[in-house]
Amino acid sequence: MGVNTVQPMEISRHAGNGVKTPYVPPEQLSCGQKTVRWFKKYFLEGQHLEEDAAEELQNLPENPTWHDLIFIKYRKFVAMLIPFVLMQSFWWMLAIRWNFFRWYPEYWHMPVTMILGSFVGGMTSEGSGAVAFPVMTLALHIAPGIARDFSLMIQSCGMTSALMCVLFMKVKIETRAVVLGTLGAIPGFVIGVHFIDPLFTGPQKKMMFVSIWTAFAIALGILNSQKKRATFREIPEFCFWKGFVLFWTGFVGGVFDAFAGSGVDICIFSIITLLFRVTEKTATPTTVVLKGINAVIGFYYRAAMMGDVSEMAWKYFALSIPVSSITGPVGSFLGSHLHRQVVAGFVYILEIVALAGFLCTKPAWQLIAAGGELLIYFPYSSAINQYINFLGCIIFGGFVFFSFISKSGQYILKGIEEKQEKERRQAGSV
C-alpha cells in the first residue's frame, strides 16, 4: 500500500474515550445541487417553535388522531385558516349589508397596495403601516393624519390576523419584549398624538419616518455583514435594566405610532437585534404580535376616545380588510420559514424603496432647526439640495446612534461569552 493510499482518521470522543473513525472526504456537489442547497438554507430553513411545540411535533405518534393532525402536524396550515375564516365571514356580512362594493371604483388604491403591505407586515419586522404610510403620503398625496389613522386601522385587522397565525403556530417569540414594549407604547402613543404630532408638518413627518429607519437598515446591514455572528433565541440573562430599556423603547415607538401609524414594532426590533442580539427569526414574529396588539389600542383610542377619524380612512379601511386578512397570515407563515438574513434583506429593500420614493417627490420645504446650520455651508444651494443634505444628516445621525447600539450589543455579547466560558472551565475542573 502506497503512502498516497493511506487515509487519515478522525477522532471523536464518547464518554472521554477517543474513538477513531474513517476519514470521509467532503462530497463534491454539482452547480445545481449547490443551488438547491443554498435555496433550502435561506428559504426553507424551517420554523423556530416554542420548546413544547417542537417536542410535540418530534414525538408525533405513528397513528395520529384528528386532534394530533389539526393541532400538531398541520397546525401551521390551520393557523392561516382560522383568521381568514373569521375575518372574511364578518366582512362579507357587513359588506353585503352596507354595500361596501360601491366604493371600490374610487377607493381601489389602498386595497391593491395592502396586497403587498399586509404580506410584508406579516413577514418582516415592519408592520403593514410601513408600506401604507409612505404610499398614501408620497404617492397618493394624502394627509399624514389620514395615513396614520388608516395604518392603525388596517393593522388592527391585518396584523391581528398575522398575530393569531403566529400564536397558533407556536412560533418562538420574546414575550417580555411584547409585554414591556406595549406598556411603554400606550403612554407614548397618547402623549405623542396629543402633544408631539401637532408640532410637525406633513413633510417633516414623512422625512423622519423614512430617514430614521433607513439609518436602522444600514446599521442592521453592517451588523449582518459579520459572518456567523452569535445570536440568541431570546434575550439572554434578562434583568431589570434590560426590561427598563424595552419599556422606554416601547415609549419612543408609541410616539412614532402617533404620527406615522408604525414605529413600535421597528423600535423593539432594532433594540432586541442590535443590542440584545436576538435572532431575526425570533424578533420578527415578536414584532408581529407587538404591532397587532398596539394597532388595536391605537385604533381604539383614535376612533373611540378622540373620535375624529376621517371618512376617507374609514372607507379605505372597509375595503382593505378582506385583502389584509389573507396576506397578513400568509406573510407570517412564509416569513417563519426564511433564514434570518433573508428576513433582514426584506427590511433593506423596504427602506431603500421608501427613501427613493420619498426623494422622487422632490420635497421643497425650507430647512428648520438643525437644517439652519446647513444653510451656512450651502448658502446658494437650491431648496431641494438643502433638503437632501438635511435628510442625509438625519440618516447619518441615526446611523451613528444605531451603530452605537450595535457596539454596545457587541460588548454585552462579549461579557456573556466570557461568563459562559468561565462556567465551562469551572464545570470541567470539578
Question: Considering its fold, how many domains does the chain have in total?
Answer: 1
What are the pLDDT digits (tens) for 176-200? Answer: 999 999 999 999 999 999 999 888 8
pLDDT, tens only, 99-143: 999 999 999 988 998 888 888 877 777 767 677 877 887 778 888
Residue among 273, 173, 140 nearest 217 (CA): 273
228 confidence band (pLDDT: 50, 70, 90): confident
Position 36 in a domain: no
Is 370 within a domain?
no
Going by C-alpha positions, the residue among 350, 326, 335 that lies closest to residue 220 is: 350
Backbone torsions φ then ψ of 22, nearest 5 degrees:
-60, 145
Residue range(s) defining the domain that contains residue 81: 67-351+376-410
Residues 6+ apart with CB under 8 A from 339: 41, 42, 43, 45, 281
Decide if 254 is inside a domain.
yes
Residue 290 lies in a domain: yes
The rounded distance, in Å, linking the Cα atoms of 154 and 164 is 15
Q: Is residue 269 part of a domain?
A: yes
| Helices of type H across 61-143 | 66-68, 75-98, 104-107, 109-123, 129-134
pLDDT, residue 34, reads 74
What residues pair up with 17 in beta bridges, in sequence order?
Answer: 14
Q: What is the mean pLDDT of residues 268-294?
A: 90
- Residue type at 91? W
Predicted TM-score (pTM) of the model is 0.81
Cα–Cα distance list, 191 to 11, 92, 122, 252, 358 (Å): 63, 36, 27, 10, 27
Judge whether 300 lies within some domain: yes
The pLDDT tens digits of the residues spanning 60-96 come to 887 888 888 888 888 888 888 898 899 999 999 999 9
CA–CA dist 317, 154 (Å, integer): 6
Report yes or no on 42 lying in a domain. no
Please write the tens of the pLDDT for every residue from 1-51.
444 444 444 444 444 445 555 656 666 777 877 787 777 777 767 777 777
On whether residue 368 sits in a domain, the answer given is no
Are 159 and 127 contacting, i.e. CB atoms less than 8 angstroms apart?
Answer: yes
Whole-Å CA distances, 167 to 56, 83, 322: 16, 11, 21
Question: In sequence order, which residues have a C-beta less than 8 Å from that of residue 288 and are 6 or more positions away?
Answer: 121, 122, 127, 159, 162, 163, 166, 265, 332
